[in-house]
Structure 1
Amino acid sequence: MDTKVSNRRATLTGGRLSWGLAGGLSLAAIGFDVSGDRLFDPAFSLTLPLWVGAALSAIVGVWGVPVLQQLKTGQVIRQEGPQAHFKKAGTPTMGGILFVPAAAIVAGAWVFLSGEMSSVDRISVVGVSALTLAYAFIGWLDDWQVLRRKSNKGISPRTKLALQIGFAILFCAWAKITPGLAESETVQFPGGWALPLGALFWLLAGFVLVAESNATNLTDGLDGLMGGTGAIAFLGLAAIVAPTFPGLALFCAIASGACLGFLAHNRNPARVFMGDTGSLALGGALAAVGVLANVLFGLLVLSGLFFAETLSVIAQVGYYKATKDPDGIGKRLFKMAPLHHHFELSGWSELQVVATFYGVTAILALIALVIR
């Protein structure tokens, strides 16, 4: 009985958290649109694509989650993870296929059907959508191997990294040779200051694509965590790029909505996980928009939580190796990495961690928007 009551409370709290997030982002989008007199303009509004993306993703999930269950795509929980996560074993994974392709297709169709979008807007959305789907494909390969082997080991880290780098190179090469896209080889900073990098800009761009996708991949470790923080980050990025790249802003608004719609099925307790199929794609999409719009500094601020998760893993591994004793056993800097697991093992509930991380991401998004 206690377990049933606890589960019911978690469901109610998770529902309130996700609905609160949806309401907050909707109000933020409406406020941004009203300030720019674009609320009822289907080509430049952020509110309408946010809602369309959310509705589509939620509806697809109603059909798709049972299909994933029938296909026996149950998640395999790693043995060294938090003990509380063992009850999640068997929850369908690979949920990224339920919302990532839909968001990319809708964004592409929307921007091409809009007569007010420029050719640069259209080709930008096509490129970002292609990169997003390419990274989703890498994640799908990894998820598929995990399911096939019934273990936590998917494709090898070397193979995954090689594919990420390969698609990043193709994306950067495409952006470089496409007229109207590669107008600047400088990194823009607040106050109009720019750092000229020349051809090194594209080396940095490739690194950002790989780093961002891995950062969001590491963040996806709790029910609703990456879905919610992703929704906040995409809407924040949409507001940053809207004045100069309305096509990319439209893509980000739809992606934000798609993350919100996925939360209808992924909130605590999750009925489906996005898997690498979703998490790698979301990071790739954020980075691709940041590269094309040349808002890499804003993206860095916006993605502060994702990179904190990455740095926690790097610091944990480095500290463990540096403190190894003669028996080869080292010390741990955190109770467990990535960072969200450290807070879990420190006594925080999963919902407390998720809610706090939502708040941190929202603050970072506001800072990035103010200093753009």
Structure 2
Amino acid sequence: MDAKFFTSRTTVLTGTGLSLLLMGVLSCLAAGLDTWAGRDWLSQSTLLMPFLLSAIGASLMGHVVVPVLKRLKAGQFIREEGPKAHLKKAGTPTMGGIFFVPVALLVAIVASRGDTNTLAVCALTLAYGFIGWIDDWQVLQHRSNKGISPKMKLSLQIGFAIAFCAWALASQPAEITRVSLPFGLILPLGILFWPIAGFTMVAESNATNLTDGVDGLMAGTGAIALLGLGALIAPDYPELMVFCAAMGGACVGFLTHNRNPARVFMGDTGSLALGGALAAVGILSGHLFALLIITLLFVAETLSVILQVGYYKATKGPDGKGKRLFKMAPLHHHFELSGWSEIQVVTVFYIVAGLLSCFALTTLS
């Protein structure tokens, strides 16, 4: 796509305008889906009410926590090998997940009346958020862009994934090992549940972590994915629908502080928590295939990194240098270096995320 052609049609949007537009569109969609399903808007067991409560709560909490993070000098360190335009963001507070994730979990628990599945998903979300917090804290302590070691992070992710899978199998062994496919087909996983579910949690959390690289990108696409997944599972898992709506709303509330130019970043605390939340809901609802479709954008971000590294190593010459498939990975950086502004990248990614959710809803609901 020609960058100049694209630029002339998107510069009218600002970070604030884009976040308000997303908030309005998602609120209307939530209300419309509730109406279509015969759910009372004022009831807690809807998409709309938990979504709005979390959005308002996360936005208000941000006005309290962001100044505190600034006073604590919890500023982000920007890697020098990244886009040069990002260097000006150095010092922007990070670790924003510490205020919008708890808001979402509190709303979800109250709205679902302490449902067991909701509590389990909240626990997994907190666990992955805790891994991210450790990583963010290490970055701040070392005053560099390096947190805990990849081996340690992976070990913790796998450990929490095993614990969650063990609980899921013990509490609902019949339903948990089946995956819904298009045309009403059901795929029994059997013993393959362990590696597939574990891989999903680790891969999804790392994918959302990689996607969190541009102002408002992960928060907005995360809100879209969560609302889409919530709408899909609503008929059979209303309590998990409420959880998805609450998490999606918190992401939108976070956008009031994270939209371009960002006043705070979610950090690994937020991005790992979002990946864990999506994966946990997909596993408990038996909608791993739908989760793959809805989060295909995050998968593409991950694949761009894998392909970039693999191609560079495969084409490495005697001088020790190889070729690159993309100007930079993850994929959003490639578009930035191709001449797109951050807002243009975010706009297109929002549209793609929305189309993926719509496709999943129309083919799997």
- Asked if these proteins are the same fold (TM beyond 0.5), I'd say yes
Matches within 5 A, 1:293-304: 293-304=285-296
Name the residue aligned to 1:135: 128
How much has 1:273 moved relative to structure 2? 0.1
Name the residue aligned to 1:335: 327
How much has 1:195 moved relative to structure 2? 2.3
- Listed as ranges, the gaps of 5+ residues in structure 2 are 1-9
Q: Is residue 72 of structure 1 aligned with residue 69 of structure 2? A: no
1:118-152, CA deviations, whole angstroms, 9 ceiling, x for partnerless residues? xxxx1100000000000000000000001111111
Size of the aligned set, in residue pairs, is 355
Q: Is the 8 Å Cα contact of residues 176 and 284 (structure 2) preserved in structure 1?
A: no
Name the residue aligned to 1:212: 204
- Of residues 163, 176, 201, the one that matches 2:156 is 163
Q: Is residue 91 of structure 1 aligned with residue 83 of structure 2? A: no
- Listed as ranges, the gaps of 5+ residues in structure 1 are 1-8, 114-121
Q: Is the 8 Å Cα contact of residues 229 and 361 (structure 1) preserved in structure 2?
A: yes
Matches within 5 A, 1:201-240: 201-240=193-232
Q: Is residue 109 of structure 1 aligned with residue 74 of structure 2? A: no
Q: Is residue 172 of structure 1 aligned with residue 165 of structure 2? A: yes
Matches within 5 A, 1:226-265: 226-265=218-257
**Partners of 1:371 and 1:296 in 2: how far apart?**
14
SS at match of 1:42: coil
Name the residue aligned to 2:137: 144
Amino acid at match of 1:160: K
**Partners of 1:245 and 1:41 in 2: how far apart?**
19
Q: Is the 8 Å Cα contact of residues 29 and 46 (structure 1) preserved in structure 2?
A: yes
Name the residue aligned to 2:5: none
TM-score by length of 1: 0.93
Amino acid at match of 1:167: F
- Of residues 358, 362, 365, the one that matches 2:354 is 362
1:40-79, CA deviations, whole angstroms, 9 ceiling, x for partnerless residues? 3524211111100100000000101000001100000001
SS at match of 1:314: helix
**Partners of 1:194 and 1:221 in 2: how far apart?**
36
**Partners of 1:282 and 1:362 in 2: how far apart?**
17
How much has 1:105 moved relative to structure 2? 2.1
Q: Is the 8 Å Cα contact of residues 181 and 292 (structure 1) preserved in structure 2?
A: no
How much has 1:101 moved relative to structure 2? 1.5
**Partners of 1:102 and 1:37 in 2: how far apart?**
27
TM-score by length of 2: 0.95
Percent identity between the aligned chains?
A: 63
Name the residue aligned to 2:47: 46
1:234-282, CA deviations, whole angstroms, 9 ceiling, x for partnerless residues? 1001100100000000000000000000000000000000000000000
**Partners of 2:83 and 2:25 in 1: how far apart?**
31
Q: CA RMSD in A?
A: 1.4
**Partners of 1:127 and 1:183 in 2: how far apart?**
16
Relative distance call for 1:356 and 1:148 in structure 2 (3 A) is same
1:303-331, CA deviations, whole angstroms, 9 ceiling, x for partnerless residues? 01000000000000000000000121111
**Partners of 2:13 and 2:307 in 1: how far apart?**
36
How much has 1:348 moved relative to structure 2? 0.5
